[in-house]
């Protein structure tokens, strides 16, 4: 009888009905998981701003969001700012306008959703005017994309981030503020061709510009050692070292020859305090670090037979000067010899100390330290004994 039941049409209908019921149940479960929030319960892993709302009914969201927004606004550890060359402007988070009702209408299940956040037109205008009036932005105030900056700030607020820090160097509309900050002309000794140095730079970078990226350590040997030999790198480095002294670049590694030899003498050697030697075999290179959020570049060219190096970049907000007044000569000893081959002219020694002094826009000296220390020993004068 059981066998007859299983094989009957009624049995077939019952089994089919059961399978249909089970399938419908599974479909309903999945539908409820992904779409059920529309009936008042939000799906698992759903976040609004930074608030987890998964499993909550719609009526429960408003009081929770209001509480969390108030807590976020009152949290003094939360920081929203725009920065430029070490200075900053802090945005008043109390000016944000949160629209919870509109935010709920566009919630997508299982993801992080943005809150609808705006400024009033009046408040947005006030913020832009405050930014333009900042003393540290005087050189670039009319070259900043304020609309994009405000949009990015509101986006961070829509996610209730704990930190929103935007570098204004990234919001400059054009490169009009990139200017020549300094020029250095380097005397090239015999045996070195200026054109070869320029050609090496062009081979490496595709132009006569050496790019110094933001927050980047530049090592002359690493960057250009494959296209220029040590002697040419040394000449190029003299110009670069000369130019970076009146910047806030930190000097990482520098070596120098402490004897005035070759075509230079103490009388006409122009590079005290700016001397550099590149010697790959001894791992002697020259490196420095650009701590700024903006890029710079060195342009190399030939001028009156010399190597001209020009530093380009955003002007520095702080006042940066070099004190090279502490360069002292050291007298040489004199002795006599009966051997004519010993006769030699004396050479003055030189003690060099270079200070960098940085003064902020408020008149405070924020840096006053030695950046270069060199010593050139005197050479004895030997006269023929009567």
pLDDT digits (tens, 9 = 90+) for 224-278: 999 999 999 999 999 999 999 999 999 999 998 887 655 455 555 677 888 999 9
pLDDT greater than 50 at residue 290:
yes
Q: Which of residues 108 and 363 earns the better pLDDT score? A: 363
pLDDT greater than 50 at residue 143:
yes
Least confident segment among 55-69, 207-221, 348-362: 55-69
Write the CB contacts of 276 (distance below 8 Å, at least 6 apart in sequence). 234, 237, 238, 241, 254, 255, 256, 286
Confidence of residue 80 (pLDDT cuts 50, 70, 90): very high
Q: How many C-beta neighbours within 10 Å does residue 41 have?
A: 16
Contact 60, 41 (CB under 8 A): no
CA distance 352 to 311: 24
The three-state secondary structure class of 221 is: helix
Which of 9-13, 14-18, 92-96 tops mean pLDDT? 92-96
The three-state secondary structure class of 202 is: helix
Q: What angle do CA 276, 295, 316 make, to 5 degrees?
A: 80
pLDDT at 259 (0 to 100): 73
Q: What are phi and psi of 343, to 5 degrees?
A: -60, 130
Least confident segment among 50-64, 78-92, 181-195: 50-64
Beta-ladder partners of 367: 358
pLDDT at 232 (0 to 100): 95
Predicted TM-score (pTM) of this structure:
0.81
Confidence of residue 355 (pLDDT cuts 50, 70, 90): very high
The three-state secondary structure class of 151 is: helix
Least confident segment among 8-22, 54-68, 182-196: 8-22
pLDDT greater than 90 at residue 154:
yes
Calculate mean pLDDT across residues 353-371.
97
User: What tokens appear for 75 in the block?
Assistant: 């949290």
CA distance 232 to 224: 10
Least confident segment among 111-120, 207-216, 327-336: 327-336
pLDDT at 5 (0 to 100): 44
Provide the CA 152 distance to its chain's centre, in angstroms. Answer: 19
Residue 118's H or E segment, with its range, is strand 116-118
pLDDT at 37 (0 to 100): 41
Write the CB contacts of 9 (distance below 8 Å, at least 6 apart in sequence). none
Residue labelled with tokens 């299983």: 6
Which of 26-30, 48-52, 195-199 tops mean pLDDT? 195-199
Confidence of residue 24 (pLDDT cuts 50, 70, 90): low
CA distance 153 to 92: 11
Write the CB contacts of 210 (distance below 8 Å, at least 6 apart in sequence). 201, 204, 223, 224, 240, 297, 298, 299, 300
pLDDT at 21 (0 to 100): 74
pLDDT greater than 50 at residue 322:
yes
């Amino acid at each position: 009888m059981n066998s007859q039941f299983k094989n009957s049409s009624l049995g077939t209908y019952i089994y089919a009905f059961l399978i249909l019921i089970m399938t419908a149940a599974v479909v309903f479960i999945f539908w409820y998981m992904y779409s059920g929030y529309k009936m008042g319960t939000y799906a698992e892993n759903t976040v609004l701003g930074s608030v987890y709302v998964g499993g909550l009914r719609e009526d429960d969201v408003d009081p929770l969001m209001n509480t969390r927004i108030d807590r976020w606004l009152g949290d003094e550890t939360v920081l929203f700012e725009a920065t430029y060359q070490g200075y900053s402007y802090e945005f008043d988070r109390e000016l944000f306008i949160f629209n919870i009702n509109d935010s709920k209408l566009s919630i997508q299940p299982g993801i992080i959703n943005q809150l609808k956040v705006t400024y009033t037109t009046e408040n947005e205008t006030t913020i832009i005017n405050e930014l333009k009036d900042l003393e540290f932005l005087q050189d670039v105030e009319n070259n900043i994309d304020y609309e994009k900056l405000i949009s990015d700030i509101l986006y961070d607020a829509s996610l209730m981030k704990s930190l929103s820090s935007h570098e204004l160097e990234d919001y400059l509309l054009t490169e009009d503020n990139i200017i020549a900050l300094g020029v250095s002309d380097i005397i090239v000794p015999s045996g070195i061709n200026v054109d070869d140095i320029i050609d090496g730079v062009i081979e490496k970078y595709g132009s006569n510009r050496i790019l110094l990226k933001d927050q980047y350590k530049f090592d002359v040997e690493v960057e250009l050692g494959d296209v220029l030999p040590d002697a040419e790198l040394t000449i190029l480095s003299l110009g670069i070292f000369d130019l970076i002294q009146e910047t806030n670049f930190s000097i990482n590694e520098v070596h120098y020859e402490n004897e005035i030899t070759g075509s230079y003498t103490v009388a006409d050697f122009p590079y005290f305090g700016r001397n550099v030697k590149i010697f790959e075999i001894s791992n002697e290179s020259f490196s420095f670090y650009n701590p700024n959020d903006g890029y710079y570049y060195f342009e190399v060219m030939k001028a009156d037979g010399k190597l001209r190096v020009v530093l380009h970049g955003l002007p520095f907000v702080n006042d940066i000067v070099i004190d090279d007044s502490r360069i002292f000569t050291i007298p040489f000893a004199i002795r006599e010899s009966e051997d004519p081959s010993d006769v030699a002219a004396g050479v003055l020694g030189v003690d060099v100390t270079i200070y960098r002094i940085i003064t902020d826009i408020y008149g405070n000296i924020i840096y006053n330290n030695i950046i270069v220390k060199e010593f050139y020993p005197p050479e004895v004068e030997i006269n023929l004994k009567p």
